[in-house]
Chains A and B, each alone.
Chain A
Amino acid sequence: MLLLTSTDYDAIRLSVKVALTATLLSLPFGFAFAYVMTFLKFRGKTLLEVLVNLPLTLPPVVIGYLLLISLGKHGWLGPLLESLGVRLIFTWKAAVVASAVVGFPLLVRSIRLGMESIDRQLIHASRTLGARWLDTLFTVVLPLSRHGIVAGSSLMFARSLGEFGATIIVAGNIPGVTQTIPLAIYEYAAAPAGESAAVSLCVVAVVLSVLVLLVHEAIGRKLARRD
């Protein structure tokens, strides 16, 4: 029997909202970045690749702290955000930023794998058939990268659901405001009588993860059938 309070339901809703928003907002950037890394040659490409993949190897707490000192009131981008009337730190939007940064390399890697499997001659054929670069991008590269896009989105969504270290630093752990499932579990685990509530949320996390994987499999099969 699951023991969930209204705060727990808020955490579940917020987790899904943060993961979904982070994934959807990252998709166009992930696609563009994967394109650049797959098809373009330029100086400093390796450095750029290292930078984007850094969140894979850095401790999430470090990422959270770097975000905090960048986006905070006195951070590098703080004054700019303030002049635009945007407040990120300790809001659910900060959780989205943290999830996006941590999950971005996974998204890019998957899309890039999809793009790298595209036969370059298809792109050449498209151009000689009269398609401009942007036309080729949308009619050839995008549809042929769809397996990678689906895989990358699923991975990023799942990673965002589980994001803890960066989120707690940059968004805090405010129940009903910035508290996601992992943060709520952390709070219950630290409380003397929170074990059963923590287990209930663990079950929810497992169910959500299984659902993500099932949806990913279903979409993958549907695409494979179309191929």
Chain B
Amino acid sequence: MEVRMAVRKSFGAFDLQADFSVTGEHVGIFGESGSGKSTLVGMLAGLSAPDEGEIFLDGECLFSSSRGIDLKPERRRVGIVFQQPSLFPHLSVESNLLYGFRRCEPRRRSIEVASLVSVLKLEPLLRRGVNNLSGGEKQRVALGRAMLANPRLLLMDEPLSALDDAHKFQIIQYLKSASEQFGIPYLFISHSLLEIRLMTERVLAISGGRLAGQATPEQLARSRMGQSQVGYINLLKVEALRKMGGMTAYRWGTQELFISASEESPPSTMYELSSRDIILFKKHPEAISARNLLKCTVVDTFPSGNKVGVELLCGSETLIAEVVVQAADELAIQAQTEIYAVIKASSFRRLG
């Protein structure tokens, strides 16, 4: 999928100017609320027109103010999953799902209804009305409905924002597996860096109606670490659950992590850990209360705002810690040096 946009749109005091070209199957647009993300989405889908400019999708011109081209939304084959599921309240789940499918030319129907229903686990919901579904169920139906219209590009405009954490990470799995299985590229729009990292491979950052840059989600996360209130969020995939008294132990690569976890900890899962919750020691600390002491090697350091990010290799896995410049100097942190990372068991937060 290739999107090229060079557009300008003003309303009130807000002025959006975007000029970019992006290629990839899973692309993100990241920005704070009011930065112009949804306006971009609306213009790409044909729901609003730029004041001037051009929009191309896979080489086809969707909009051109100079050539007088403005393809109607139904002809663009660009699907949208909105923040609110926006299901048709007068139709059943099944009729919602089939709304776009029935309007899609038969030769373009590459997705079978039954297989999509199966991937999104929608069978038990088909006969139900949409008003009594949970938020997560509604969003699954909205995703299925958009995909069954066989779009060539799926726009996901903050599709997880209205969901709680438990549903959010469940839906992420559905979004990714459905997109991969049925080969539909997507543009994922979010103000959550974590969601962008979980969902995309390439990201456009937008701020105040202007494009701030294009990067990988990892690069973006590292560059924003110093100014973020939560620092850099490490994502740790853990497995082989082992209960030890009131503590839970998981295998993380070649290491074992002790985590304060609830009774219903799954055998394997994903945890997040802020770079701010990792304390670095130059020498092996004695008698500490924290349950995790990891011997690591510094791979790299990088500046981010007024902080220094420290990339650590802990066994086979990587962690990003964060220290102030003064601490980095005092500890003489540099690549290839050994260091100890201390993490409290309560610092981990399970995703989903």
Give the chain A neighbours of B100 by CB distance below 8 A.
Answer: 129-130
Among candidates A122, A127, A144, residue contacting B47 with C-beta atoms closer than 8 Å: A127
Judge if B169 is at the interface, Cβ distance under 8 Å: no
Binds A, one of B21-29, B77-85, B227-235: B77-85
Give the chain B neighbours of A139 by CB distance below 8 A.
Answer: 99
Within the assembled complex, what's the spacing in Å between the Cα atoms of A198 and B86?
55
Judge if A199 is at the interface, Cβ distance under 8 Å: no
Q: How many residues of B contact A (CB 8 A)?
A: 26
Question: How far, in Å, is B235 (CB) from chain A's closest CB?
Answer: 32
List residues 67-119 of chain B with CB under 8 A from any CB of chain A. 72-74, 76-80, 82, 84, 86, 88-90, 99-100, 103-104
Judge if A135 is at the interface, Cβ distance under 8 Å: yes
Give the chain A neighbours of B104 by CB distance below 8 A.
Answer: 130
* Complex contact B86–A128 (CB within 8 A): no
Question: How far, in Å, is B216 (CB) from chain A's closest CB?
Answer: 29
* Complex contact A143–B47 (CB within 8 A): no
* Complex contact A129–B149 (CB within 8 A): yes
Within the assembled complex, what's the spacing in Å between the Cα atoms of A132 and B84?
22
Within the assembled complex, what's the spacing in Å between the Cα atoms of A131 and B86?
15
* Complex contact A135–B103 (CB within 8 A): yes
Judge if A207 is at the interface, Cβ distance under 8 Å: no
Within the assembled complex, what's the spacing in Å between the Cα atoms of A121 and B79?
13
Give the chain A neighbours of B99 by CB distance below 8 A.
Answer: 126, 129, 131, 139
* Complex contact A124–B73 (CB within 8 A): yes
Judge if B131 is at the interface, Cβ distance under 8 Å: yes
Within the assembled complex, what's the spacing in Å between the Cα atoms of A143 and B99?
15
Question: How far, in Å, is B89 (CB) from chain A's closest CB?
Answer: 7
Question: How far, in Å, is B254 (CB) from chain A's closest CB?
Answer: 48
Give the chain B neighbours of A121 by CB distance below 8 A.
Answer: 82, 84, 86
Among candidates A127, A140, A143, A226, residue contacting B73 with C-beta atoms closer than 8 Å: A127
* Complex contact A119–B103 (CB within 8 A): no
Question: How far, in Å, is B82 (CB) from chain A's closest CB?
Answer: 6
* Complex contact A131–B103 (CB within 8 A): yes
Give the chain B neighbours of A226 by CB distance below 8 A.
Answer: 90
Judge if A125 is at the interface, Cβ distance under 8 Å: yes
How many A-B Cβ pairs are below 8 Å?
Answer: 67
Give the chain B neighbours of A144 by CB distance below 8 A.
Answer: 89-90
Question: How far, in Å, is A49 (CB) from chain B's closest CB?
Answer: 24
Question: How far, in Å, is A9 (CB) from chain B's closest CB?
Answer: 41
Judge if B145 is at the interface, Cβ distance under 8 Å: yes
Q: Scoring A residues 115 to 150 as 1 if CB is less than 8 Å from chain B, else 0, what string do you get?
A: 000010110111111111001000110011000000
Within the assembled complex, what's the spacing in Å between the Cα atoms of A139 and B88?
10
- CB within 8 Å for A122 and B88 given contacts A128-B45, A128-B80, A130-B103: yes
* Complex contact B74–A131 (CB within 8 A): yes
Within the assembled complex, what's the spacing in Å between the Cα atoms of A226 and B90?
8
* Complex contact A129–B89 (CB within 8 A): no
Question: How far, in Å, is B74 (CB) from chain A's closest CB?
Answer: 5
Judge if B146 is at the interface, Cβ distance under 8 Å: yes
Within the assembled complex, what's the spacing in Å between the Cα atoms of A139 and B100?
12
Q: Scoring A residues 165 to 207 as 1 if CB is less than 8 Å from chain B, else 0, what string do you get?
A: 0000000000000000000000000000000000000000000
Give the chain A neighbours of B88 by CB distance below 8 A.
Answer: 122, 125-126, 140
- CB within 8 Å for A129 and B131 given contacts A121-B86, A124-B80: no
Give the chain A neighbours of B45 by CB distance below 8 A.
Answer: 124, 128
Within the assembled complex, what's the spacing in Å between the Cα atoms of A144 and B88?
9
Give the chain B neighbours of A130 by CB distance below 8 A.
Answer: 74, 77, 100, 103-104, 149
Within the assembled complex, what's the spacing in Å between the Cα atoms of A149 and B84?
27
Within the assembled complex, what's the spacing in Å between the Cα atoms of A128 and B157?
13
Q: Report, nearest first, the 5 A-B pairs whose CB atoms are least far apart.
A: A129-B100, A130-B103, A127-B73, A121-B86, A143-B90
Q: List 20 A-B contacts (CB under 8 A).
A: A122-B86, A122-B88, A125-B145, A126-B88, A128-B47, A128-B74, A128-B79, A128-B80, A128-B146, A128-B149, A129-B74, A129-B100, A129-B103, A129-B146, A130-B103, A131-B74, A132-B74, A143-B90, A226-B90, A227-B89
A residues in contact (CB < 8 Å) with B: 119, 121-122, 124-132, 135, 139-140, 143-144, 226-227
B residues in contact (CB < 8 Å) with A: 45-47, 72-74, 76-80, 82, 84, 86, 88-90, 99-100, 103-104, 131, 145-146, 149, 151
Q: A121-B86, A124-B80, A144-B90 are in contact. List 6 more A-B contacts (CB 8 A).
A: A127-B47, A128-B151, A129-B149, A132-B74, A226-B90, A227-B90
